[in-house]
Chain A
């Protein structure tokens, strides 16, 4: 039971990190029709900027400043690069973000080096957020923070006690993502700016005619989307590893999230992020294979056929998201919650 709970929490926290990234991506896509290839690069830049700020003034100022820096970078990129190629259509826009992702990667390597930097979470987040104590007699208990050592040791050898701490960094990751989700939803649905953004999504000419500066709205949305990626970077970088290939690792997964959730759908991105986070986490833990399944059905396999059929779910876990992407595109091209076709 504690295995299920901890794995579920691991999966959800990873899914929420993916959501922080993909929310910005899907927002930008729905507004400007641009699939931003450099989005994961903003995630990486966020982590590195926060690393530098954290070394000077500490983690918490870094948590605020890094997303702002990345947001400004994103806004400037939109204003001076993306807007210029906008008139040539979507393909040049796509290509310019593609180029930017490489420029950012090389810049980061020039400034911070080609190997991982040591970006530690702050002291307050280093311990466990809570601990699940599972005893074979008393059942499952829940303790905030670290469980005292006495609780995790059985006095009687026959009693099996397992303590499963849940790291505070992951708890914090979930908290920030949920706060962000609520804030984003409030902003889009309850404020004037949100109304303008929403209407600019579908009827930019009309909004412009009403006297709103639509290009500036675009710039702000692009900046905000990049800033959200930056925020995810600060948290992802300090929880996992801050290194130059961190953009490439999440980059492909967030595209899966956006496509599976439905291009431009925030709710879809949320559901898809959680789904992929949980699937990837649980897949590692499941040792089922096609061969094993057939064996269970009473079909005996020859020795030679074992290598491929014997692949367990854990071994194929890395390709699952992409398989999902292909299947969704074949059977439901608009995604789980998307509204538009293609």
Chain B
């Protein structure tokens, strides 16, 4: 009996050994995976503060959808292995409401804040965040700017806690005027902008740059109108026509651009429009076939980036029947994921330090860099023109049959502009 038992025991032993081996190798595999994704299983909450109501509501609604869509995709692939969760709050485009939202983010322990629509909101927001971070070490908040382009945010008002993923007005206007320089049929330019920091900066840099690059161009008129208030742009169009302008430069966005081009079509204005945001909700429909060849946009992305962007755009359209135009959202999660993996932490201070100077090959538009000196993303800029879709440029926003086709590309070393930022960094 005893002699019989030994081989049985031995066999048992081998089975046990085998199981143990298998188990350890499994653990080892899991460990290897964890090393690749150091923060697997952690959730990072972000608060998105932008308008969901009012005239700019449609723009915000589209961007919140984009946020949720992109985080869903990036949760599966980001190198840190974290799960991003975006909580959207409607700020009604009001700075006061935004500060209330920030307060609630602080109360809920949310450490990342995203905003973009209106530098009028971004500036008070970063002021409040600076104060909060100074007074509450260990509870710092990082501001990820998806679209507010006032140069002050990365110059006189630059902050360690602010990261801009859009291109600022100095960059965009540099690219736009470089393109306009070679358009010999431009002689008289009209500047029509929204009356707040962003619109004023657009007008200012347009004048400065044109004076430098094309001194022969005459600025025949300049107007600032209230932000998201004007419903009828017909008087402005009549004025632009009377001034004899062949081109209009405008930083308008949302309803302020779509109603402007609607009035231009109705009022028979035939000049060119040089815009920042022709591809944004409402404007493609308002442009329709009328704006073909006359409406230009300067941006860090466009509808026909192709490559890895193609399936993402198509997927978004299939899911929401809407267009994904805020590419900076993708870059926000690219940078956050990479920085968190690098810092091996989701702590905003460590992530902010890791993000500084980070270089990434983006899903679209090639190489990018988060410049350390002012936290302005260095990226390629594109000039696109409104035209009919074709084989090369097949994507049609708002199912208009039209698209924005690229006519010029300015890589980061061209689009880059200097900064006067004197950043103060926290100790550590």
Contact = CB atoms under 8 A, between A and B. Distances in A.
Physical interaction between A and B: yes
Interface of A: 3, 6-7, 10-11, 14, 109, 114-116, 118, 128, 131, 152, 162-165, 167, 169-170, 240-241, 243-246, 249, 280-282, 284-285, 287, 314-315, 318
**Interface of chain A: mostly helix, strand, loop or mixed:** helix
Contacts of B61: 115
B268 A165 contact: yes
A10 B234 contact: yes
Interface string B152-170: 0000000000000000000
A318 B230 CA distance: 10
B426 interface: no
A14 to B, nearest CB: 7
Given A116-B55, A164-B241, A241 B259 contact: yes
Contact of A3 (B57, B195, B224, B241): B241
A318 B241 contact: no
Contact of B232 (A114, A165, A240): A240
Interface in B220-250: 221, 223-224, 226, 229, 231-232, 234-236, 238-239, 241-242
Given A7-B235, A243-B55, A245-B55, 9 more contacts: A7-B238, A10-B234, A116-B57, A131-B268, A167-B266, A167-B267, A240-B259, A285-B235, A315-B224
Interface string B56-72: 01100100000000000
Nearest to A312: B223
A163 B264 CA distance: 12
Interface in B13-53: 52-53
B54 interface: yes
Contacts of A3: 238-239, 241-242
Given A115-B53, A243-B55, A285 B267 contact: no
Contacts of A318: 226, 229
Contacts of A245: 54-55
A114 B57 contact: yes
A342 to B, nearest CB: 32
B231 A285 contact: no
Contact of A314 (B58, B223, B232, B241): B223
A128 B241 contact: no
Contacts of A281: 234-235
Contact of B238 (A10, A114, A249, A315): A10
Contacts of A131: 268
Contact of A163 (B58, B239, B268): B268
A114 B53 contact: yes
A128 B267 CA distance: 8
A115 B259 contact: no
B57 A115 contact: yes
B54 A6 contact: no
A15 B236 CA distance: 17
A43 B61 CA distance: 26
B232 A14 contact: yes
A285 B238 contact: yes
Contacts of B255: 116, 241
Considering the complex of A and B, which 5 residue pairs feature the smallest CB-CB distances, nearest first? A115-B57, A3-B242, A114-B53, A284-B235, A167-B266
A114 B52 contact: yes
13 contacts: A3-B241, A10-B232, A10-B235, A11-B235, A14-B232, A115-B53, A115-B57, A115-B58, A115-B61, A128-B268, A162-B241, A165-B268, A285-B242
A263 B195 CA distance: 35
A284 B235 CA distance: 6
A282 to B, nearest CB: 8
A115 B241 CA distance: 31
B168 to A, nearest CB: 24
Contacts of A165: 266-268
Most chain A Cβ neighbours within 10 Å, of B53, B234, B259: B234
A3 B53 CA distance: 35
A278 to B, nearest CB: 11
B56 to A, nearest CB: 9
A73 B134 CA distance: 56
A4 B221 CA distance: 17
Interface string B193-208: 0010000000000000
A74 B226 CA distance: 33
Nearest to B232: A240
A135 to B, nearest CB: 14
Contact of A164 (B54, B226, B232, B267): B267
Nearest to A246: B231
Contacts of A284: 223, 235-236, 239
A8 B267 CA distance: 14
Nearest to B226: A318
Contacts of A164: 238, 241, 267-268
B9 to A, nearest CB: 74
A317 B229 CA distance: 13
Nearest to A283: B235
A128 B53 contact: no
Contact of B53 (A170, A244, A285): A244
A193 B210 CA distance: 67
Contacts of B58: 115-116
Nearest to B53: A114
A10 B285 CA distance: 24
A3 B57 CA distance: 34
B218 to A, nearest CB: 15
Contacts of A11: 235
Contacts of B259: 240-241
Contacts of A115: 52-54, 57-58, 61
B10 to A, nearest CB: 75
A6 B61 CA distance: 36
Interface string B341-385: 000000000000000000000000000000000000000000000
Contacts of A7: 235, 238
Nearest to B259: A241
Given A114-B54, A115-B61, A164-B241, A249 B235 contact: no
Contacts of B231: 240-241, 246, 249
Contacts of B55: 116, 241, 243, 245
Nearest to B92: A114
A246 B242 CA distance: 29
Contacts of A285: 235, 238-239, 242
B134 to A, nearest CB: 32
Contacts of B285: 118
Contacts of B195: 315
Contacts of A152: 268
A128 B232 CA distance: 16
Most chain B Cβ neighbours within 10 Å, of A118, A167, A170, A280: A167
B232 to A, nearest CB: 6
B199 to A, nearest CB: 12
A167 B268 CA distance: 9
Contacts of B229: 249, 318
B46 to A, nearest CB: 23
